[in-house]
């Protein structure tokens, strides 16, 4: 009787050696000397194996960073940074798989199929952090906009993972820079900024248009 782990391992070994999926589940299970029923008990398709791996990598990372002693002292910004650093550290162990699974995705602009399981847990996690930041005043509450903060972070997620895949610097140092700079910029935008004041001022002026007219504007 095969376990999910064994099937997963065999599948990884197969795709990384052959750089393509097995022709069919039938061929795959035959080689592994298990029955199709064994396979379908755990996975509905090859894609679902890949999705599971991605899901686990992400889930593990989130669990692990929350166990750090400093976690509670971190600001929202630092929590997000911590996630990405640890995430790449974690992905490093499966780099070949990560490259394989993303290179085989068509359509650059939509979320790749293999990441459909990752997106909700990442967004959940991001939302949790954003709400903490909004509560503490670290991030600016903006009507309509603050609901979209998590989307901006998902875009960063896609960017950073893609950057890392193509990163050939020693120790993936450039990816570290991409995280540090990218996340900082994103959080800078989430914070209170002169734009907020400008908008406030604009609102004030439009509400008091009559007064402005009198002044000869």
Partner 1 sequence: MGSLQKKWAFKYHMKTQKSIPTTKVERSAKFVKTGIQIGGNYIKHYSKKLFNPEMDREQLNEDNATDIYKSLSELKGSALKIAQMLSMDKNILPKSYVDKFTQSQYNAPPLSGPLIVRTFTKNFGKTPENIFDSFNLSSSNAASIGQVHQAMLNGKKLAIKIQYPGVGDSISSDLKLVKPFAFRLLGMSERELNIYIKEVEERLLEETDYELEVKRSIEFSEACKNLDHVVFPKYYPELSGKRIITMDWIDGLHLKEFLQTNPSQDLRNKIGQALWDFYNFQQHELRAVHADPHPGNFMITPDENLGVIDFGCIKEMPDDFYYPFFSLISTDVIHDKNKTIDAFRKLDMIHADDSPEQIEFYYKSYKEMISLFAKPYTSKSFDFSKPDFFEQLYIYGEKISKMPEFKQARGVKHFIYVNRTNFGLYTILHELKATVKTDTFKPNVTA
Task: Note whether 184 binds partner 1 by CB under 8 A.
Answer: yes
Task: Note whether 13 binds partner 1 by CB under 8 A.
Answer: no
- Label residue 68 left, alpha or beta by phi (over 0 means left) and psi (-120 to 50 means alpha): beta
Task: Note whether 60 binds partner 1 by CB under 8 A.
Answer: no
d(CA 52, CA 142) in angstroms, rounded, equals: 35
Give whichever of 20 and 180 is closer to partner 1, judged by the CB atom: 180
Task: Note whether 176 binds partner 1 by CB under 8 A.
Answer: yes
Q: Which residues contact 180 (CB under 8 A, 6 or more apart)?
A: 81
d(CA 158, CA 186) in angstroms, rounded, equals: 14
- Helix runs in 108-166, H state only: 118-136, 149-165
Task: Note whether 82 binds partner 1 by CB under 8 A.
Answer: yes
Give whichever of 55 and 84 is closer to partner 1, judged by the CB atom: 84
Contact 100, 82 (CB under 8 A): no
d(CA 47, CA 28) in angstroms, rounded, equals: 14
Smallest separation, CB 182 to partner 1 (Å): 12
Task: Note whether 10 binds partner 1 by CB under 8 A.
Answer: no
Smallest separation, CB 43 to partner 1 (Å): 33
User: Applying CB under 8 A, which of residues 47, 56, 78, 131 lies at the interface with partner 1?
Assistant: 78
Task: Note whether 70 binds partner 1 by CB under 8 A.
Answer: yes
Widest distance between CA atoms in the chain:
88
d(CA 114, CA 101) in angstroms, rounded, equals: 7
Calculate Rg over the CA atoms of the chain: 23
Dihedral in degrees, nearest 10, Cα atoms 132, 134, 137, 141 = 180
User: Applying CB under 8 A, which of residues 74, 100, 154, 163 lies at the interface with partner 1?
Assistant: 74
Quick one: which segment of 35-43, 62-70, 145-153, 157-165 binds partner 1 (CB under 8 A)? 62-70
Task: Note whether 81 binds partner 1 by CB under 8 A.
Answer: yes
Task: Note whether 96 binds partner 1 by CB under 8 A.
Answer: no
Give whichever of 28 and 87 is closer to partner 1, judged by the CB atom: 87
Binding site for partner 1 (CB under 8 A): 68-70, 74, 77-78, 81-82, 85-86, 89, 169, 171, 173-174, 176-177, 179-180, 184
């Amino acid at each position: 009787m095969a376990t999910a782990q064994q099937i997963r391992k065999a599948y990884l070994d197969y795709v990384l050696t052959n750089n393509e999926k097995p022709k069919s589940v039938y061929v795959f299970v035959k080689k592994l000397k298990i029955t199709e029923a064994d396979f379908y008990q755990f996975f509905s398709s090859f894609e679902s194996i890949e999705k599971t791996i991605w899901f686990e990598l992400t889930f593990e990372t989130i669990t692990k960073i929350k166990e750090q002693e400093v976690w509670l002292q971190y600001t929202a910004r630092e929590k997000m940074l911590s996630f990405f650093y640890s995430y790449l550290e974690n992905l490093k162990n499966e780099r070949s798989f990560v490259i394989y699974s993303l290179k085989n995705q068509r359509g650059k602009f939509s979320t790749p199929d293999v990441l459909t399981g990752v997106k909700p847990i990442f967004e959940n996690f991001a939302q949790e952090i954003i709400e903490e930041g909004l509560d503490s005043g670290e991030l600016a509450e903006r009507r309509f906009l603050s609901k979209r903060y998590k989307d901006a972070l998902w875009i960063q997620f896609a960017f950073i993972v893609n950057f890392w895949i193509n990163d050939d610097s020693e120790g993936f140092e450039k990816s570290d820079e991409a995280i540090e700079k990218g996340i900082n910029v994103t959080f800078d935008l989430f914070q209170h900024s002169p734009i907020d004041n400008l908008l406030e001022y604009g609102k004030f002026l439009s509400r008091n248009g009559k007064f402005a007219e009198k002044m000869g504007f």
